[in-house]
Amino acid sequence: GMQPCTRPLPALCPSAHACMLQNGRRSSERSFICARDCHCVHRLSSCLHAGLMPLIRLMLLPLHDIPHVLLQDASGKSVVEDLFGIGTTLKLKCEESDEELQEHATSYMLRCNIGSATNHLHEGILLGLRDDREKMSEKAGRTCLWKGTSLITRLPTYLTVQLVRFFYKVDTQNKAKVLRKVSFQHELDVYDFCAPELREALDGPRAAYKAYQDRRIQQEKEEKNAKGRAAEAASNGSNGSNNEAPEPSGSGQEQQQQQQGGGDVAMGEASGSGHEGAQTGKFELVGVLTHKGRSADSGHYTAWTKQADGNWVLFDDDVLHIKKGDDILNLSGGGDWHMAYLLIYRAITVPKGA
Helix H or strand E segment including 27: none
DSSP designation for 304: E
Structural domain for 202, as ranges: 78-86+108-120+154-220+272-353
Give me the helices (H) in 242-289, please: 252-271
Assign residue 300 the CATH number of its domain: 3.90.70.10
Name the band, by pLDDT with cuts 50, 70 and 90, for residue 295.
confident
Structurally, the chain folds into a number of domains equal to 1
Q: Tell me which of 24 and 87 has the higher pLDDT.
A: 87
Within a domain: 143: no
Is there a domain that residue 16 lies in?
no
Residue 54 pLDDT greater than 70, yes or no: no
Is residue 132 in some structural domain?
no
Stretch (H or E) spanning 247 = none
293 within domain boundaries:
yes
Judge whether 189 lies within some domain. yes
Please indicate, yes or no, if residue 197 is contained in any of the structural domains: yes
More confident residue, 261 or 63: 63
User: For residue 13, is pLDDT > 90?
Assistant: no
pLDDT tens by residue, 98-146 = 899 999 999 999 999 999 899 999 999 999 999 998 989 888 889 999 9
Query: Residue 163: is its pLDDT beyond 90?
Result: yes
* Rounded CA separation 193/152 (Å): 6
Question: Does residue 332 lie within any of the structural domains?
Answer: yes
pLDDT tens digits for range 306-323: 999 999 999 999 999 999
Which comes out higher in pLDDT, residue 167 or 134?
134
Helical axes 196-238 vs 252-271, angle rounded to 10°: 140
Within-domain flag for 247: no
Q: Using CA atoms, how far apart are residues 354 and 317, in angstroms rounded to an integer?
A: 41
Calculate mean pLDDT across residues 176-185. Answer: 91
Amino acid present at 139: K
Q: Per-residue pLDDT for 275 more than 80?
A: yes
pLDDT at position 171 is 79
The percent of residues above 90 in pLDDT, for the chain, comes to: 46
